[in-house]
Structure 1
Amino acid sequence: MTDFSKLHTDKLYINGEWQDSAGGDLHPVVNPATEEVLCQVVQASSEDVDAAVSAARAAFGSWGKTSAEERAALMNAIADGMEKRREDLIQAVSSALGCPAHITKWLHVDGPIYAMRYYADRAALMEKTEKAAHSLILREPVGVCGFITPWNYPLHQFVGKVAPALAAGCTMISKPSETTPLQDYVMAEIIDEAGLPPGVFNLVPGAGPVVGAALAAHPLVDMVSFTGSTRAGVEVAKAAAPTVKRVTQELGGKSPLIITPDADLEKAVRWGCEDVFINSGQTCTALARMLVPADKYDEAVRIAKQFAEEAALGTGSDALMGPVSSARQRDIVRGYIEKGVAEGARLVTGGAETPEGYDKGYYVKPTVFADVSNDMTIAREEIFGPVTCLIPYKDMDEAIAIANDTEYGLASGVWAKDADSALPVVRRIEAGLCFVNGGEFNYEAPFGGYKRSGNGREFGDAGLDEFIELKSVQLPA
């Protein structure tokens, strides 16, 4: 699919039908590699949110009482549709985000298909009952859910919210980012074709201050799940507080990678750089602070420089990095690079200038900073671009202190001689996720952070738990 205007981007999907918006404003979706407009997407109004919430509320009465077997069958039908339209999903994400298609396939699409089937299997947990002395513990769906998803991993986060909610028996309203909404339209078509009952899933794209705020504050929404910046997450929580709804948040990060003295330095540094540069650095779990033993620091800097200068740009089959998502994001990242230089960090390679040969598109050079101290802005704030900071440490106590000296706690990494050697270090890091010696993301394990990186978990059984109310039934003793 290259003509995205063939999607229903001028409509909202509410109560099982494509409908006009009460507002009717349109927002351009831009290809960040070419700066060309892909299509125009309608922007929902607060009135549209009311209509979608009403549809979801009306549908919950019956959907919440369907059997787990019925919900699982429909979810597997959705997964079948995702497989059938895998190429459409790849193009939808790649074209609006800028991630090369060959990377988009495994990084953005294949995992969400797996996760949809995983949660179809987990639907049966809703019918599981437990005994606690003379009490019976039942699981019930939390109700109507509002989802606000980000632009950097749009399908991943869509499925991370929608799939467990469907498995639990919840109904939902989903708001994609204005930057990358196209895969949500493909998913709405897939969901419609799969035969999900009207009102169970509703799609209302639009601006965060309008649609996101209305969802968070709506009195008939029982839960809101938000992925995005910590700043915006605070606003969502404030808006949700008066109605005492459940709030889950996956927010920012400034994650450390500790390379231990006994690690394979070449493998560790190259993997750490790839982790930051993939998806053009637009990853909330990016291990953007690389902590290296002081006596191996110069060699680590050399390896990082070499990797960054070998990283191919573009959207072709040999590219590691595409553009960042927008002109605004490019300017933000360049501003951080300039700030790093101004604060005294050593620019090893990269920089704020436009990469040679890329006058079109929102490209940023893969950038490596050395001589970084943990109090510098580039070590404190989430850059969300292809920028890595190398920080030396003298012993493991100092490495742990540097790693934990952050307001965030989303992710971390340890590269040691082997996994057993890494685990004592892992236990000392204050973060909800840790990648050991290049371990991959696991959709069957919980994902979420400590501190200002949010609360709640996605994926795994813990991701399903977020959508469950527990009912305690006190039986006669």
Structure 2
Amino acid sequence: MRSYNSYIAGTDQQSESWVYSIRASAVLNDFVASVKLKRGLEKGLRDDGAQQPDVVARCSISTQEQLDAALVQAKAATAQWAAFPLAKRLELARRFHLEVKKRQQEFIDVLIAEGHPRKLAEWEVAGILQCSSYESLELWERQLHEERKIGPRRLLLVRKPDGVVVLSPPQNAAASNSVGGLAVLVAGNCLVVKAPRSCAYGVMYVWRDIVAPILEELGAPPGVLSIVCGNSGNILQQWLDSPLVNDIFYFGSSERGIQLGIDAVSRGKKPILELAGKDGCVVWKDADLGKAAEMLTECFFGSGQICMVPKYAILHPDIAEPLIALLLQKVAGIRPGYPEDSNALLSPVLRTDEYFRYLQEATEAGARLLAGGHRVELDGQPSETGPFIAPTILRIDSLTKARSMASVSEETFFPLLPLVIPEVDHADLLDEVIQFINDNQYGLRNSFWTSSESVISQVVSKVSNGGLLKINDSHIGFTPWLATHGGTGLTGGPFGELNYPLLRSSHLQGISIAENVQPSQAVFESTSFSEEKHSKVALDDFAGVI
């Protein structure tokens, strides 16, 4: 059993209360016994957690004094950490990448123990490595510092850290999502990370076992990082009320997150919101149907309990039938299992009542059930009490009807994929489909499949919804250079966009360093170039200025 104390400004500080993590496969084997074990340990009725093979970790619940100290120490370290050379802060990210690569299997095993199916855990760790790759870090450097010499002046565009940033990751993929805080540190901020009580193990592993030692080796001041655990509502309220906090980086529901953003702004704090998603996919008539069908099965990673998986798809009517046939073949092989099982993709579903409500509403409105529609046991057999839900596919033969269905318009957190098929093809169909995508009240990711350069050009120029647009690619796959999170509408709030946390947790400052400039003449300068030279300046000379 791993044991984690609260990590406050470079020291491990224990308290009298703990949360325990029970191996997910043990919970599936015997739910009642696992819950009894967990409650007994957390209530102090037993103290043999270290002797129990299925108790994988425990995390100390932070006291109020520890929560207060984390913010005080972070504030005290802001000036010193912000003054660290950018190259040294980028070294933190580089070393993190190397350490995760070295520990890749160990990291995957931690996520599996928490209940992530192996394929899902492998995807998460691959994403962390991709997004801390050399290409990504090269972009981070350009985003934080751009410099140009024009005439007698050295001109800089530099992003300065906001100060103290607090991070509250989600409960469904806490460890991997919390890694967004790495860029916050690289931007020069001090960071306080809250590990959710329900899944503290993975977050503590990332930050205490991997990040904290690297910071110590780099000579970072102790207050740069603190890791706490406790009641989310109480901690968030403390962060809102504290004058020491500058930015609140929050993952959660749109309903809670939008209100949190309002409360943060009203208190003079910057909200960085990662909220719900309702990702759309479009498969056009000239798409590679085999690859498109493969992409659509990504809906069922972790039983759809991830924001950035496909949540609905629009199929061109000319290819709907063959594509659906291919998809149903692939979906038939998707099954539940223990998280350790390399062939299992599904995980237990928490919102089963909501699933059946959405399913009933859709079928009563005319949707046809093509697959799934029931609960299943660990072995895949139908059961009224099974913890899993069979991969479910709906067919909706109308764009108009689809938008009024909750299964298409609202975020869903279960394995349900509505296939929307326009009634007929016509000259304006692409524009109608693009408008459908743009009208989505959420805006995380969208993806298109087509072989037409003309269609690609129109999609690229007209699709404004979402933080990330992918064409002929895995919907959930990560790419270097492009951020993994962020979006418009209810996904990111009024300031939502593709989220580079180092940009969102910093502010842009322009700097001019002049040499031999006469102020009385400089005040009337109108240009630094001759008109001839100015006309020849290529736009790409200014690429990378952010």
TM-score range, shorter chain: 0.7 to 0.9
Query: How many Å apart are 1:418 and its aligned residue?
Result: 4.9
1:432 aligns with: 467
Residue identity matched to 1:139: R
Q: Which has the larger radius of gyration?
A: 2
Output one character per residue of 1:44-93: Cα deviation in whole Å (capped at 9) or x when no partner: 45543322111111121211111123323343333333233323321222
Query: How many Å apart are 1:427 and its aligned residue?
Result: 2.8
Residue identity matched to 2:17: G
Q: Flag the 1:381–1:130 CA change in 2: closer, same or farther, 3 A.
A: same
Query: How many Å apart are 1:198 and its aligned residue?
Result: 1.4
Q: Flag the 1:297–1:317 CA change in 2: closer, same or farther, 3 A.
A: same
The aligned runs of 1:268-307 (5 Å cut-off) are: 268-272=292-296, 274-307=297-330
Where do 5+ consecutive residues of structure 2 fail to align?
39-54, 523-546
Distance 2:355 2:6 in 1: 33
2:52 aligns with: none
Distance 2:333 2:258 in 1: 39
User: Percent identity between the aligned chains?
Assistant: 24
Q: Flag the 1:30–1:236 CA change in 2: closer, same or farther, 3 A.
A: farther
Aligned partners of 2:130 and 2:478 also within 8 Å: no
Out of 333, 340, 360, the residue aligned to residue 355 of structure 2 is 333
Query: How many Å apart are 1:179 and its aligned residue?
Result: 3.2
1:110 aligns with 2:126: yes
Query: How many Å apart are 1:143 and its aligned residue?
Result: 0.9
2:76 aligns with: 58
1:155 aligns with 2:172: no
SS at 2:332's partner residue? helix
Q: Flag the 1:154–1:269 CA change in 2: closer, same or farther, 3 A.
A: same
1:200 aligns with: 224
1:178 aligns with: 197
Residue identity matched to 1:299: P
Distance 2:163 2:345 in 1: 40
Residue identity matched to 2:410: E
Distance 2:452 2:158 in 1: 42
SS at 1:406's partner residue? coil
2:8 aligns with: 14
Aligned partners of 1:46 and 1:210 also within 8 Å: no
Distance 2:405 2:366 in 1: 9
Distance 1:423 1:283 in 2: 29
Distance 1:316 1:157 in 2: 21
Query: How many Å apart are 1:276 and its aligned residue?
Result: 0.5
Output one character per residue of 1:158-193: Cα deviation in whole Å (capped at 9) or x when no partner: 222x22112111110112333332221112122232
Return the TM-score normalized by structure 1: 0.86
Out of 146, 149, 171, the residue aligned to residue 166 of structure 2 is 146
Distance 2:379 2:172 in 1: 25
Output one character per residue of 1:191-249: Cα deviation in whole Å (capped at 9) or x when no partner: 23221541211111233212233224422111111222211211321331232122221
C-alpha RMSD of matched pairs (Å): 2.9
1:406 aligns with: 440
Residue identity matched to 2:376: T
Aligned length: 462
Where do 5+ consecutive residues of structure 1 fail to align?
none
2:291 aligns with: 267
2:102 aligns with: 84
1:49 aligns with 2:73: no
Distance 2:186 2:60 in 1: 29
Return the TM-score normalized by structure 2: 0.76
Distance 2:365 2:460 in 1: 31
Distance 1:169 1:262 in 2: 47
Aligned partners of 1:175 and 1:205 also within 8 Å: yes
1:377 aligns with 2:395: no
Q: Flag the 1:90–1:318 CA change in 2: closer, same or farther, 3 A.
A: closer
More deviation in 347-356 or 249-258?
347-356
2:481 aligns with: 444
1:69 aligns with: 87
Distance 1:122 1:428 in 2: 26
